[in-house]
Amino acid sequence: SPHSPLMTYEAMSLDVQHLLTRLGIAKCILLGHSMGGKTAMTLALQRPDLVERLISVDISPVSTAPVSEFSAYISAMKSVKIPDGLSRSAARQLADDQLRPVVQLPQLRQFLLTNLVEVEGRYVWRVNLEAISHHLADIMNFPVFHKPYPGPTLFLGGSNSPYISSKDYPEIQRLFPKADVQHIEGAGHIVHQDKFEEFITAVLNFLPPP
């Protein structure tokens, strides 16, 4: 999708609403991970009529810390330099080497590297790093809502990740009274990558019977 200089949850929720209209989808089951989870929650709270069920993967409807860590990752991604004419595997290896000093976790580096794409013979990041760095405070926060989302909701976290914790439960309960919170044992923040089979099972069990 095209990039926008505006990167708030309200703006991203509107993008999804426009997409649903374009696709002719009157009501959907919405699943989002991390920033996508906050976008999905925003949409469900703004337009509950559009969302039949909601799944938020490893993120709560609260402020997410630490900002400095993400800031460092974005700076590292911005500073990656790849000469033209390299093969995809060589380009990824070079980017991996350049990210390693800042992004120590190999799984996280692999996750970031999925965004390295070739455009007309040059390797670029497909994510809008400028907009992300300008809106980091918005991305880390969560908009204020007073009216809850009444539909069934699943918060699916990784047991090794801090992003859905017991201190978030009151706010989860306030905004999503029909919420079920589950943690997948042994998974970090990128739950669907770390424990794919268990992730799929949990999602399928939450879906309504066909």
> Pick from 148, 163, 165: which is nearest to 32 by CA?
163
In eight-state DSSP terms, residue 149 is: P
Residue 120 bears catalytic tag: no
- Which residue in the list 10, 18, 69, 130 is annotated as catalytic? 130
Residue 34 bears catalytic tag: yes
Pairing of strands 122-125, 116-119: antiparallel
- Which residue in the list 34, 56, 60, 161 is annotated as catalytic? 34
In eight-state DSSP terms, residue 163 is: S
**CA angle (200 as vertex; 44, 114 as ends), nearest 5:** 85
The whole-angstrom separation of Cα 166 and Cα 164 is 7
- Are 154 and 55 contacting, i.e. CB atoms less than 8 angstroms apart? yes
For residue 76, the tally of other CB atoms under 10 A from its CB is 18
Partner residues linked to 118 by β-bridges: 123
Residue length, the chain?
210
The whole-angstrom separation of Cα 132 and Cα 149 is 27
- Which residue in the list 33, 135, 183, 189 is annotated as catalytic? 189
Residue 159 bears catalytic tag: no
Classified as helix, coil or strand, 15 is helix
- Residues with catalytic roles: 34, 130, 189
